[in-house]
Amino acid sequence: EVQLVESGGGLVQPGGSLRLSCAASGFIFNNYWMHWVRQGPGKGLVWVSRINSDGSSTNYADSVKGRFTISRDNAKNTLYLQMNSLRAEDTAVYYCVRVLGGSSSISPLGYWGQGTLVTVSS
């Protein structure tokens, strides 16, 4: 069974930093593209970032480019999101997501973690 468990969320002041982690199990982690998607309180879904299976290719939404960094440790089956220079508008539940198919960058978001809440407030 595919399992994705996020951690690392919490309350942080504007301008601060936070690193989210996502522990993956139940599948061969290094075969799949992985994504982060966020959802503000009472709002819709917003794609944040993606990384390919070996970590050599990454993409970001314009709203987080230059502030967030996605990475992965395939030996630890773990996905990360380093978030710097946080703003109030980054407040959201952050979901770790595995694509449905493995090697293609074009594959729907097949498996979702339960999310971790990040609150940016003074």
Partner 1 sequence: EIVLTQSPGTLSLSPGERATLSCRASQSVSSSYLAWYQQKPGQAPRLLIYGASSRATGIPDRFSGSGSGTDFTLTISRLEPEDCAVYYCQQYGSSLPWTFGQGTKVEIK
Q: In sequence order, which residues have a C-beta less than 8 Å from that of residue 84 and are 6 or more positions away?
A: 17, 67, 68, 69
Around Cβ 105, how many Cβ atoms within 10 Å?
12
| Comparison of 26 and 110: residue with beta carbon closer to partner 1 | 110
| Comparison of 43 and 76: residue with beta carbon closer to partner 1 | 43
Site for partner 1 in 21-80 (CB under 8 A): 44-47, 50, 59, 61-62
**Closest separation between CB of residue 20 and partner 1, Å?**
15
| Comparison of 75 and 106: residue with beta carbon closer to partner 1 | 106
DSSP state of 76: T
Positive or negative torsion for Cα 49, 95, 27, 8: positive
Positive or negative torsion for Cα 97, 100, 101, 105: negative
> Which of the stretches 7-15, 22-30, 70-78, 108-116 binds partner 1 when contact is defined by CB under 8 A?
108-116
CB 116 within 8 A of CB 6: yes
Decide: is 117 part of the binding site for partner 1 (CB under 8 A): no
Q: Which residues are near partner 1 by CB under 8 A?
A: 44-47, 50, 59, 61-62, 95, 100, 105-115
